[in-house]
A and B are shown apart, each in its own frame.
Chain A
Amino acid sequence: MLDRTADNVARATPEPLAKKIRGISDKGLAWLFISPTILLLLAINIFPLFWAIYLSFTNYRANRPNEVVKNLGLANYQRILGDQDIWIAMQTTAHFVFWTILLQTVIGFTLAWLIDRKFRGHAFWTTVILVPMMLSPAVVGNFWRFLYEPQIGLFSYVVSFVTGIPPTNVQMLSNVELAPWSIIIVDTWMWTPYVMLICLAGLRSIPEYIYEAAEVDRASNWRQFWSITLPMALPFIMLAVLFRGIENFKMFDMVNLLTGGGPGSTTEVASITLKRQAFESWRTGYSSAFAIILFVAVFGLANIYVKALNKVKQR
């Protein structure tokens, strides 16, 4: 499998073309190599983005393509920023992002630290732990609906078995209080290995001689952890938080299949609101404006964060 894929790629540059551009300058070759990618991204990412920016100033509706499009100026943006439901969706997203990142970082780092004790068989068990994060969040998220079913679902059964709550009362997906936690549990189950893997790289990057020196200075284990392990692994932890933060801010597939934003709108994260506005209410202009706001928010926050990350790295 591995070799065949690479062969395909290698065969893809046709020989006649190669002969024709023999002796082409490096500069020409550089552009020849890079421009197809740039053109594709311009066509599939940038052009649509500008289109979305244009639409965000209009009242366009995708399900009524023949209607006259009116220019609304900034009205869509004003309406979004004053819309109570949008702010509730942003709070739901913040709640989801905060708890998933906190849980994944704490559990992921702990697991990485334990694996770094290098017990026998640690490589095998690490691979086992990594499996959930490679799977499709949509397909696996969909199956969690079954695990969460009251009574017949394995998760609900185990919870009622352990806590003694009657099995019909463990309603993870339809209870307003529990539904936000049901998506946090699945996301944490799925993505803790991701944080763990990055933290493990961080722990392994710490040179052994630093610990040896600390040992000579008779620093306690506790002290070593707080003064060496944690600060030196911090850039890696921050990187993991960055990647997870961006991904979970955009979270759509798992939540859409697990709760669809419900019950009511208790798990309606920003992407679900966006989908409801754009593809169910068909308020294309309005939802484009919301999409632009989300994009600017992710981009801005990520930029500020990367600056902080670089500062930590330089220390």
Chain B
Amino acid sequence: MSLTTAHSVVAPSSNAKLIAGTIIIAYALISIVPLLWIFATSFKTPPDSIAYPPKIVFQPSIEGYCNLFTTRTRQTPEYINSLGPATGFCDETVRKRNMVIAGPSNFLPRFVNSLIIAFGSTFCAVFLGTLSAYGFSRFKVPLADDLLFFILSTRFMPPIAVAIPIYLMYRELGLSDTALGMILLYTAVNVSLAVWLLKGFIDEIPREYEEAAMIDGYTRLQAFWRTVLPQATTGIAATAIFCLIFAWNEYAFAALLTSGTAQTAPPFIPTIIGEGGQDWPAVAAGTTIFLVPILVFTILLRKQLLRGITFGAVRK
């Protein structure tokens, strides 16, 4: 084979590219079918959602979203006719099924809990993580490797194993089923990720910047504040999103340690039931609303994804 061809000798042939592209696109399309199905189901009526064969073409409806946000009671047609005109689309849809809206469902408070706990724990984990990561990166800490390994090893424990003593401890401290308890717990779980990721990011910032600042009369803290933090912004943001996704998606602790006031969306969504079993359009609607923020974050994060999922072990 001649080495004087215009292209690199190791570049894949156009045939190889075509076959590879076809397989990858086919895989990608098949793998997002379940997600498209969630989205489609959220716009089906309950009878459409359980039709056989499964309906691909259907008349879209927001009944699922109505059912997600409300609780309903069955009433006699006479009673419904005696009511005034329906106020709004949801009211009308519900009355067609011989029901009236009884009040708001628990979905919104659970969703708000998810927001408070996810953002609260992310803020704490990133705050503590940034300080620790800077400490490990720039100072001679005795037993640094052991401490870092200790921080990581807390991730080896199965969540249920951690949940048993935490359950007892929270019961003693009055932290059961409180947002504060969940924020503390998620912070502890996320801080290991935050320290490892941020140490990698801060290691990459040359020490010379701070040293120059300190020669100019800044104290170490001012140098950290004015030179390191601004340069670590991307890393801190990426770390924050990873912590946020973990806390947002977490189920095991939430299911075992919260039951009411502090319950988050993941343990709540599977409990959405209608008459005669799971109300799938409502579940799909809740799932859709729950997943959209993560989709946005995934797209924002795609360049840092690899680093995040391997605790900084692979940086590309």
Contact = CB atoms under 8 A, between A and B. Distances in A.
Interface of A: 1-3, 5-6, 8-10, 12-13, 18, 21-24, 26-27, 29-34, 36-38, 40-41, 43-49, 51-52, 55, 62, 111, 114-115, 117-122, 125-140, 142-147, 151-154, 157, 167, 189, 193-194, 197-198, 201, 204, 208, 211-212, 215-216, 218, 236, 239, 243, 246, 249-250, 252-253, 256-257, 270-271, 274-275, 278-279, 284, 287-288, 291-292, 294-295, 298-299, 302
Interface of B: 1, 3, 8-10, 12, 16-18, 20-21, 23-25, 27-28, 31-35, 37-38, 41, 49-54, 122-123, 126-132, 134-136, 138-141, 147, 150-151, 153-169, 171, 184-185, 187-188, 191-192, 195, 219-222, 225, 229, 233, 236-237, 240-241, 245, 248-252, 255-256, 265-267, 269-270, 278, 280, 283-284, 287, 290-291, 294-295, 297-300, 302, 305-306, 309-310, 313-314, 316
B135 A48 contact: no
A295 B139 contact: no
Given A117-B20, A130-B298, A253-B252, 10 more contacts: A41-B154, A120-B17, A128-B32, A131-B295, A140-B287, A154-B33, A194-B309, A198-B309, A252-B160, A274-B161
16 contacts: A3-B237, A5-B237, A8-B123, A9-B236, A21-B221, A37-B131, A51-B168, A52-B164, A129-B31, A135-B249, A142-B287, A143-B38, A198-B309, A250-B157, A274-B158, A278-B164
Given A41-B151, A274-B158, A198 B306 contact: yes
Nearest to A240: B310
A135 to B, nearest CB: 6
A144 B161 CA distance: 26
Contacts of A239: 310, 313-314
Of the listed residues A136, A256, A288, A294, the one surrounded by the most CB atoms of chain B closer than 10 A to its CB is A136
A92 to B, nearest CB: 15
A134 B294 contact: yes
